[in-house]
Amino acid sequence: MTSDERRAIDSVLDRLDTYGLGRRQFVKLLAGSAAALTAAGALTAVGRRDAARGDAVAYTDGQFALLNWSATGDYQVQWAKAFQDAASQLGYKSVVLDGKSDAAVQSNQFNQLLTQKTTAIFVGLNDPGALPTLAHDANDGGVLFQAAWNSPAWYTPWHSDADGDKYNTFLMPDEYIAVGKAVDVLARKIGEEGTIVRVGGYYPSIDGCEVQRRLAVHDTLKKYPKIRFAGELHAKYDADLSQRAAATLLARYPDTVGIVAVNDDAATGVVAGIEAAGKVPGKDVFVVGANGSTAGIDRIVAGKQLVTTGNVPAYPSFFTLAQFHDRLRGWKPEPAERFYGWHAEIITAENVQAFKSRYVDGPIAQSFDVKLLSRTEHPADFDLQFDGYPVEDLESIWPGVPKPKGFQYPESYLQARRNGDFDRVRALYNAHYRTPVLGPSPYQKV
């Protein structure tokens, strides 16, 4: 590394130290990566980024990029395909990058995108702690930015406003409520008694998704005094690790009658672990999943999985592409719209066929209508196509997680609460949920 490159990196790191990602953490992300120097060069390009602050987008005709957790797993495959399909329907170029479940890889990919002709980036982070820095750098680069699921505790889009207006919206469905309802289905199935275990994601975690799903299980089971929660292991949302975790839990607690998996990819491993233990999933041990991924839906049809939370992997991509499209046409989400949630359908054998026909058997490109989601294509009759709501209660996102030292609620969030904007947006969304989730797709019907 030349002295000029070293000085450039030092200068950037000095800036990053004030935005939630310290020098040591950043160096660790870049260490050992072949793209490190490329990323360092990208970060020195502050001229074009600083010039992009404000309302302008640096490249209105550039690519739309999805930074995926990885290219493996049913969920990731579905939301990547949906991102590409929705972009194509709106006439945009798109690229999906494989994060390989590695925070360093993702950081390098993001930095390289900032040196290219990139209009917008949608990210599902492998390291939630990197989100404040990515939001800051997207603002500097004039690149529209959106994130889903993974966020450090108590960090919201409103916290990025001091750096610019490019961080649109954070997306997360009603994880706590939906997983609680799924656990209720399990409790009823086992007659409200017996031993239950859990295979989780990352823990301890600063990611609200794992926090909500984990606490939902623990809190819901408090209603059932005859159900014993024996223990849990965490397997990083990975099917192979989840199989090992399930096998270990079944060996420790052979009387287990129910396993709650953090999502349907983990449930894939859980079912394999049950079968490897010589037991029958759906008969000896009942399995709970989440997300409504294809494999989970197929297992419900086959009787191997009891229930999943149908928040539909394709939906965040369709919603995000509609918002990026609208931003380029002059629309902005108002403050009360910056944290978006939607209510998952609880999918069991009773309603799985309706879900399967639309989201599994049909083409992903036709599962939603991206133009109907658009506020500029259909300003008067836009259709959310899901029961969406503005997230106002931040305690519900990080239940039981203490606020960081010195935490302050952002002024734009507080102002929206004082003005009653959340109530008004909630009513607006209720009025524009027009196509039922389990009904036929509205694709190209309007």
pLDDT score, position 54: 62
Which of 310, 329, 355 lies at the terminal end of a domain, its last residue?
A: 310
Same domain? For 65 and 198 the reply is: no
- Within a domain: residue 98? yes
Are 168 and 231 contained in the same domain?
A: no
One domain for residues 159 and 256: no
Tokens of 169: 């919206």
The helix (run of H) or strand (run of E) holding residue 352 is helix 352-359
Tell me which DSSP letter residue 99 carries.
-
Rounded to a whole number of angstroms, the distance between the first and last alpha carbons of the chain is 57
Q: Within this chain, do residues 79 and 218 fall inside the same structural domain, yes or no?
A: no
What is the helix (H) or strand (E) element at residue 228, kind and residue range? strand 227-234
pLDDT of residue 43: 39
Say if 147 falls within a structural domain.
Answer: yes
Beta-sheet pairing, 345-347 with 308-310? antiparallel
Output the pLDDT for position 339.
98
Q: Last residue of some domain: 310, 327, 353?
A: 310
Segments forming the whole domain that contains residue 411: 3-172+313-341+375-431
Do 184 and 291 sit in the same domain of this protein?
yes
103 and 187: one domain?
A: no
Q: CA 189 to CA 95: how far, in whole Å? A: 43
DSSP H helices in 71-228: 74-90, 103-113, 131-141, 175-189, 208-221
**Torsion-angle region of 330 (φ positive above 0: left; ψ -120 to 50: alpha; else: beta):** left
Say if residue 137 is in the same domain as residue 201.
no
The domain that holds 414 is classified in CATH as 3.40.50.2300
User: Is there a domain that residue 352 lies in?
Assistant: no
Residues 38 and 166 in one domain: yes
Domain count, the chain: 2
306 in the same domain as 333 = no
Residue 347 lies in a domain: no
Spatial separation of the C-alpha atoms in residues 96 and 145, rounded to whole Å: 15
Question: Exposure of 308 by Cβ count < 10 A (0-12 exposed, 13-18 middle, 19+ buried)?
Answer: buried
In whole angstroms, how far apart are CA 434 and each of 315, 378, 442, 445? Answer: 15, 13, 9, 13
- 363 in a structural domain: no
Contact assessment for residue 86 and residue 321, using Cβ atoms and an 8 Å cutoff: yes
Which of 260, 289, 310 corresponds to the end of one domain? 310
Q: Indicate whether 39 belongs to any domain.
A: yes
Task: Please list the pLDDT of the chain residue by residue as tens digits (446 residues).
Answer: 554 444 445 444 444 433 334 334 444 444 444 444 344 444 333 334 445 556 789 999 999 999 999 998 899 999 999 999 999 999 999 999 999 989 999 999 999 999 999 999 999 999 889 999 999 999 999 999 999 988 988 999 999 999 999 999 999 999 999 999 999 999 999 999 999 999 999 887 666 788 899 999 999 999 999 999 999 999 988 999 999 999 999 999 999 999 999 999 999 999 999 999 999 999 999 999 999 999 999 999 999 999 999 999 999 999 999 999 999 999 999 999 999 999 999 999 999 999 999 999 999 999 999 999 999 999 999 999 999 999 999 999 988 889 999 999 999 999 999 999 999 999 999 999 999 999 999 998 86
Is 288 exposed, middle or buried (CB count within 10 Å of its CB: 0-12, 13-18, 19+)?
Answer: buried
Is position 275 within any domain? yes
Q: Are 265 and 404 found together in one domain?
A: no
Establish if 438 belongs to a structural domain: no
15 & 71 share domain = yes
What pLDDT shows up at residue 444?
A: 86
Same structural domain for residues 141 and 276? no
